[in-house]
Amino acid sequence: MNDNTMSIPHLIMSASTVVQLVMLLLVVGSILSWVVIFQRSIALRRAKQEYNQFEESFWSGVDLNELYREIPADDPRHGAEHVFQAGFREFNRLMPKTRNADSVLDGVQRSMRVAWSREEDRLTQHLVFLATVASASPYIGLFGTVWGIMGSFQALSMTQQATLATVAPWIAEALIATAMGLFAAIPAVIFYNRLSNEAARLLGKYEDFAEEFHAILHRNLQGRDGKPNAS
């Protein structure tokens, strides 16, 4: 009997409407945050694998024109490949038009920065939602608890004998809201930190790659510029 009345499903079902709404909100927030956690974890792992593959093929000594031609023009790639594609396409387009190496390198850098920024946007997508859940759900749960305890005290004023047994179920069901808020917030905090750190590291690698690619192009241009300058 005691187990039955104090069990968590029973407490949730017998809570007041506001507390139940708060709980529903928290459950929805928790489910969505877990969707984001799984989605981002899988996406970041795949992006890392892809970057490793691309880096391997890039530094395997293959000709950059070959590498660029392997990427279909109508199939945009992601990650470092996208940065490389954008930079090399810009390089190829600018090369016939100008012989000034600095302007070519400027254009390449700009296009790569744009690609990088798009990659950043793609990688950190939805992570803000995790941060929101992490910071807001404890407060929402606390609101539910305060509301429930208010209700419990209102009901307590009606009763003639204020024993612990009359207050306990109310407070228990009010505290469930805080528990659910924490339940939603804790994984969100942990995975927000982990995922944002992973995304930042991946973006750092993209940036390093962009710099290296820029250095390669610069070396090539120096060689090409040197010939006309020398001749």
Partner 1 sequence: MATDSPRDPQDVGYTLPAILAVAVHALVVVLSLISLPTSTAEPDSSSIVQATLVGTETFTDQAQQVTEQQAAMNRAAEPEVADPTPEPEPPATDTSQQEAQQQAAEEAAQREAQQEEEQRALEEAQARAEEEAQRRAEEAQRLAEEQAAESQAREEEAQRQREAEEQRAREEAEAQRQREAEEQRAREEAEAQRQREAEEQRAREEAEAQRQREAEEQRAREAEAQRQREAEAQRAREAEERRAAEAAEAAMQRQLAGEAEAAANAQQAQQAANSFINIVRRAVEQAWIIPPGASNAMSATIQVRLGPSGELLATSIVTSSGDSTFDRSAMQAVEQAAPFGELRDLPAEQQRNLRQFNLRFTPGDVR
Q: What residues make contact with partner 1 under the rule CB under 8 A?
A: 3, 7-9, 27, 30-39, 42-43, 46-47, 50, 76, 78, 118, 122, 183
Least distance CB 175 / partner 1 (angstroms): 14
Residue 167's contacts (CB-CB under 8 Å, 6 or more residues apart) are 152, 156
Residue 92 has which token pair? Answer: 């190829």
As a whole number of angstroms, the distance between CA 173 and CA 185 comes to: 19
The residue among 21 and 35 lying less far from partner 1, judged by its C-beta, is 35
As a whole number of angstroms, the distance between CA 198 and CA 195 comes to: 5
Least distance CB 39 / partner 1 (angstroms): 4
52: Cα within 13 Å, side-chain hemisphere: 6
Q: Beta-strand (E) ranges in 5-164?
A: none
Least distance CB 165 / partner 1 (angstroms): 19
The residue among 46 and 99 lying less far from partner 1, judged by its C-beta, is 46
Least distance CB 40 / partner 1 (angstroms): 8
Least distance CB 8 / partner 1 (angstroms): 6
Least distance CB 49 / partner 1 (angstroms): 9
The residue among 25 and 47 lying less far from partner 1, judged by its C-beta, is 47
The residue among 30 and 137 lying less far from partner 1, judged by its C-beta, is 30
The residue among 213, 189, 182, 223 whose CA lies nearest residue 55 is: 213
Residue 153 has which token pair? Answer: 């005290």
- Other CB atoms within 10 Å distance of the CB of residue 216: 13
Distance from CA of residue 55 to its chain's centroid? 23
The residue among 26 and 217 lying less far from partner 1, judged by its C-beta, is 26
The residue among 31 and 216 lying less far from partner 1, judged by its C-beta, is 31
Residue 84 has which token pair? Answer: 């490389």
